[in-house]
Amino acid sequence: MRLISLLGLPFVAALASAAAVPFKGCQHKVKESIHGPPRGWSKHTSAPKHHMLELKIALPQPKFPELEQHLWEVSDPSHSRYGAHLSKEETDALMAPHPESLDIVNEWLASYGLAEESLLRSSANDWVTIRVPVSLAEQMLDTTYSVYKHAETGESIVRTTSYSLPEILHDHVDLIQPTTMFARFKAFKSTLHWTNQAQAPVLSTSSGTITGPAGNQVDASCNSSITISCLKQLYNSVAYNTSATNGNKMGLTAYLDQYANNMDLQQFFQLENPSAYGSNYTFVSVNGGLNNQSYAAAGVEANLDTQFGFGLTWPTPGTFYSTAGEPPFDPDYFTPTDTNEPYSYWLDYVLSQPSLPQTISTSYGDDEQTVPFTYADRVCAGMAALGARGVSILFSSGDSGVGDGDPNPATQMCHSNDGLNVTKFLPAFPASCPYVTAVGATVNIPETAVSFSGGGFSNYFVRPAYQEVAVLEYLTKLAPGTYEGLYAPEGRAYPDVSAQGVNFSVVYQGQTIPVDGTSCSSPTFASFVSMLNDARLTAFKSPLGFLNPFLYSAGYSALNDITMGHNPGCGTEGFNATTGWDPVSGFGTPNFEKLLALVLSLP
């Protein structure tokens, strides 16, 4: 579902000669460039020549269309291969570059003294990572790096707006980063509320009840504070108990120095799921990621994810991935390495593992246009490989409605970054990737789509076949000319589903605080998916894997349709929630009992 196909990549034929190609004398040609840094970034100073860069080089994946075909077949409940997920070795073979690409890139690196022992390769050999000083990177890429500063946050990164490669390399290298990528990849939290004084936890002890979306009675307190009990009541899973021994696992990711505090987790378990008290998760460090346990280092995002994700699915074993790597670089002090954004590092790691959690949730992202298409395309391809291996990947849809990172719809500057500076809606990535399940947010009972729920249409990826009918049905309901020119109606539409996303009762630094955002809704929906995988594994069936073909063909019938609300931004009211799929709430929130019956009826 890429706008640019990888089919039929030409390969340079003049590689038969045993002599090394004289790359240093070759004519360089621009490989990638952007008009300028995204809004908020400005050039500050020249990059120090000794500053170390960790460059990741992506080699083409000529067999990706074959991998994609496998993904569609094993994820389609009506296909005879449904659930026949691929192994690590099979996906590696389908992601591997052509041998000619490996050879010529190796020769190019060797011409700069970078021998095999100094290279780090991904499991499929489709990524090569090197550590070089800015001075050498500038020679290799015929570019000039600068330190760019962000006006709002003060953070700095070392980047360029254009780089070049010898023309002979262009068909053998998809991209090199960090070069032109200015994405900040923030956690999707709309608002955070807490005081210096500990607050009394709000638990579901009220004698009053209200009618939930499944027609059952729900504690009235759930309209003011969301707890584990509230979510199980709302989404109809009170009677379901997961297993600790059937091989099912739940995975959560953390980036940007977000640490999950274990004392906070145990306090949360005591308050909201006493049976889980004393249990823990498996911590996995990726690229040197840490999980600092000092109270001062506790992260609201990481606490939210682990407390609700592992609290809802206990006793299912949980895995918490902490991936190092973030853009900020302080040019006033010596910093040894300016790292790339962390998704590619996480993908490198998980795709190299023979066994993975069946469900993984991520609550991070950024404006799609801040991520170069080439990079977004490759990260998205990695998500496709995970789906083909039977992993359900869920992402928060974003916290700015149809707009940018400014939480105030009235002040959002929704301008394109292509030099035209036209007003347009700003979709979020990775939510816009067609191989992931994007989760929007709701509020209150009865449920309404919350105003910050990210949604819209990708400018990078075309609409996948699985959502053609549902999205066209929505588009026909829009008045002719509505938001014409502000969005790409042929693009991948998101979110796919939604869940509660306001007033989650989280323990942070020993205090109970309310948290809002699609950061709440993604681990919530993922937890119910993990329960469904638990049931299928107990019944000796395959895990669900990539969810969207199921959701758009049958699964939507077991979701609570959200018909009220809209997601304003860019000086507009945004899209509206309505009957059926919509770009605010997707198909709606889970009714676990209905979903359970459906997934157990699948082969």
Q: Which residues are annotated as a binding site for Ca(2+)?
A: 561-562, 580, 582
Residue closest to 389 by CA, chosen among 365, 434, 356, 430: 356
State the virtual CA torsion across 211, 215, 217, 223 in degrees, nearest 10: -40
Backbone angles phi, psi at 515, to 5 degrees: -130, 140
Cα 400–chain centre separation: 16
Q: Checking phi first, is residue 287 left (phi over 0); if not, alpha (psi -120 to 50) or beta?
A: left
Alpha-carbon gap, residue 506 to 265, rounded angstroms: 9
First to last CA, the chain: 26
Q: Which two tokens stand for residue 353?
A: 């593992």
For residue 287, what are its two tokens?
Answer: 């690229």
Q: What is the DSSP letter of 371?
A: S
Angle between helices 262-272 and 300-313 (to 10 degrees): 40
Helices 88-95, 373-388: crossing angle, 10 deg rounding: 150
Name the binding residues.
Answer: 561-562, 580, 582
Convert 411-440 into a string of H (helix), E (strand) and C (coil): HCCCECCCCCCCECCCCEECCCCCCCEEEE
Give the Cα separation of 162 and 172 in Å (integer): 18
With beta carbons less than 8 A apart as the criterion, state whether 164 and 29 touch: yes
Catalytic sites, residue numbers: 301, 305, 519
- Of residues 368, 468, 470, 466, the one with CA closest to residue 417: 368
Q: Give the list of residues 6+ apart from residue 142 with CB closer than 8 angstroms, or none.
A: 28, 163, 164, 165
Angle (CA) 416-420-424 rounded to 5° is 35
Residue partners of 154: CB distance under 8 A and separation at least 6: none
Which of 396, 392, 327 is CA-nearest to residue 534? 392
DSSP-derived 3-state class of residue 252? strand
CA pair distance 25, 27, nearest whole angstrom? 7
> What distance in Å separates the CA atoms of residue 319 and residue 308, rounded to the nearest whole number?
13
Local structure of 564: helix, strand or coil: coil
Integer Cα distance of 301 and 278 in angstroms: 21
CB 392 within 8 A of CB 360: yes
Give the separation between CA 269 and CA 279, rounded to whole angstroms.
Answer: 9
- Whether the CB-CB separation of 557 and 594 falls below 8 Å is answered with yes
Q: Which uninterrupted H or E stretch holds 497?
A: strand 497-500
